[in-house]
Amino acid sequence: MRETLGREVVLEKPRDRSFGHFATPIAFSLAKELKKSPMVIAQDLASSFEESDIFSSVESVKGYLNFRLSESFLSEYAAWALQNTTEFAKGDKNGKILLEFVSANPTGPLHIGHARGAVYGDTLLRLGRHLGYDMTAEYYVNDAGNQIDLLGLSIQLHGRENLLDESVEYPESYYRGEYLDALARDAMEKFGFEIFHDESRRRELAMWAKDEVMKIIVKDLGDTNIFFDTFVYESTLYEDWERVMSKMGEGVYEKDAKVWIASESKGDEKDRVVVREDGRPTYLAGDIVYHNQKFERGYDHYINIWGADHHGYIPRVKAAVEFLGYDSKKLEVLLSQMVSLLKDGEPYKMSKRAGNVILMSDIVEEIGSDALRFIFASKKSDTALEFDLAEFKKQDSSNPIFYIQYAHARIKTILSKSSLSEEDILLAPLEGLGENADVLLFDALLLPEVVEDAFNSRQVQKLSDYLKALAALLHKFYYDCRIIGTPNEAKYLKLLMVVALSLKTGLGLLGIEAKEHMSKEDES
């Protein structure tokens, strides 16, 4: 179509399917350039498609161009998809992208707020890789600064109180939770009970403990089918501090015994401190060195997924990137909002294991990884999310992930009941199916467009919405149309194979298993 019209064309999916499969308002955008009315332009363009094998009709309607794909084209495309299942919905995009996400402080297990950013990042990663991008998943470990020292202190106090039966006085801010039990016991076994009293070894204890916490974090992520290619530790970056500061040039200056970044000149609200009076670097200092290291690795694009509370942090980091001599437009920051959790309509009770948060691992244990991933991929990441665990434990159509997985399993069950061979089914042409089947086939073959749109817009929930809609069409078709033992059995089964391929591919891109069968209890 681009070749015919000589430019990129925005295609829309008409709400009224009687208008066709796609529509475009391009005639309106060409009106000023061609000095003609959109209706005349649309009529001229429609006539240029008369010889096309792809479209059965191209019509001009009130300045819009409406396209209906031919049955032969859809049949050939479906046949190709079933013969090339691993290539279906893939792209040939080029470019290296560094995607940094989660990056939670290694001071305790992941909570559900971290889980939302983790699922969002991993889904975006899967979509991008499927489209052909060379993407690296990276975790930035903040293992320098006060929070690590506080971890060491928290373990010392926890050990003295719970293992040595001493009376201790906790500071206003400290880490708590059941995970500290295991850390304190392991610390006593490794270092001896003296470690709980020795302030001079607190940093040593803290650095050991953060590595142990990272093991917990990596396991929790792995249990949710999330894996990273690289880990960068903040503590290793500061040896490069002087060199990076010299690269910043006039972007940094000294005032009041502090070092500042002149971020206000780059659009920030004000300049920011990067080194305190006592010589300790701020959190921003580590980010400056880290982003310099990122850009020196030579990626084409950089994506950071941060919690929504870091919104104000974006201008100062982009300012640093500019001062370092790089194009800040190559740095894209996406935000992930926090989560409210209910159970049977009531606020979810926090676990004593977590201290004061809801652990990601608790939710995975309660509803499973598939449900957790679907929840966090079902709404825009930068909007508030509230969900009820009870909904995702139900084994019926009110549970969206059950509804989709059941659609896939239902197709596999129908296929197993047929006496036709797979070869017979694959040889059947998908023409003359009837209106409802045509709609189902077209929507099943839309997955490539959905995948690209979900990635380009950074809205992974578009894939979740698509799978729910496709599952609904499948279930409706199942109830409305008899399949086994009819003259169209081979055609219908081939159609269902295409639907199953889209469901399985789409679920895989969400990091979710496409079930081959459901238990008797599930099917009731």
Residue extents of the structural domains in the chain: 2-69, 74-91+394-524, 146-222
Which residue in the block uniquely carries the two structure tokens 């003295």? Answer: 160
- Which phi and psi angles does 66 have, rounded to 5°? -110, 130
What does the DSSP 8-state code read for residue 280?
Answer: P
459 Cβ neighbours under 8 A, 6+ residues apart:
380, 453
**Which of 164-168, 368-372, 516-520 has the lowest average pLDDT?**
516-520
Position 351 scores a pLDDT of 55
Say if residue 67's pLDDT is above 80: no
pLDDT over threshold 70, residue 510: yes
For residue range 186-209, what is the model confidence (pLDDT) as tens digits? 999 999 999 999 999 999 999 999
Whole-angstrom Cα distance, residue 348 to residue 340? 9
> With 0-12 CB in 10 A as exposed, 13-18 as middle and 19+ as buried, what is 415?
middle
Q: Say how far apart CA 280 and CA 258 lie, in whole Å.
A: 10
Tell me the sheet residues that pair with 347.
342
Quick one: average pLDDT of 246-253?
Answer: 95
| Homologous superfamily (CATH) for 74-91+394-524 | Isoleucyl-tRNA Synthetase; Domain 1 (1.10.730.10)
3-state secondary structure 179-233: HHHHHHHHHHHHHCHHHHCCHHHHHHHHHHHHHHHHHHHHHHHHCCCCCCCEEEE
The pTM of the full predicted model, rounded to 2 decimals, is 0.91
Pairwise CA distance, residues 399 & 466, whole Å: 15
Name the token pair of 517: 């069968």
pLDDT at 22: 75
Strand ranges, E, within 399-512: none
* Helix ranges restricted to H, 297-399: 314-323, 360-367, 369-376
CATH number of 2-69: 3.30.1360.70
By the 8 A CB rule, do 152 and 191 touch?
no
Range list of β-strands (E), 235-381: 252-255, 258-261, 272-275, 301-307, 331-336, 339-343, 346-347
Q: How far apart are CA 233 and CA 457, in angstroms?
A: 30
| Mean pLDDT over the full length of the chain | 91
Is the confidence at residue 38, as pLDDT, over 80? Answer: no
Query: Are the beta carbons of 501 and 433 closer than 8 angstroms?
Result: no
Calpha distance 523→298 (Å, rounded): 52
| Confidence band, pLDDT 50/70/90 cuts, at residue 4 | low
In this prediction, residues 11-16 reach a mean pLDDT of: 75
**Residue pLDDT, tens place only, 137-175:** 999 999 988 899 999 999 999 999 999 999 999 898 899
* Across 77-81, 247-251, 345-349, least confident range: 345-349
For residues 361 and 221, give the distance between their C-alpha atoms in angstroms, rounded to a whole number: 9
Question: Residue 523 has what pLDDT?
Answer: 38
Q: pLDDT per residue over 389-435, tens digit each?
A: 988 988 888 899 999 999 999 999 999 999 999 999 999 999 888 87
What is the pLDDT, as a whole number, of residue 524? 27
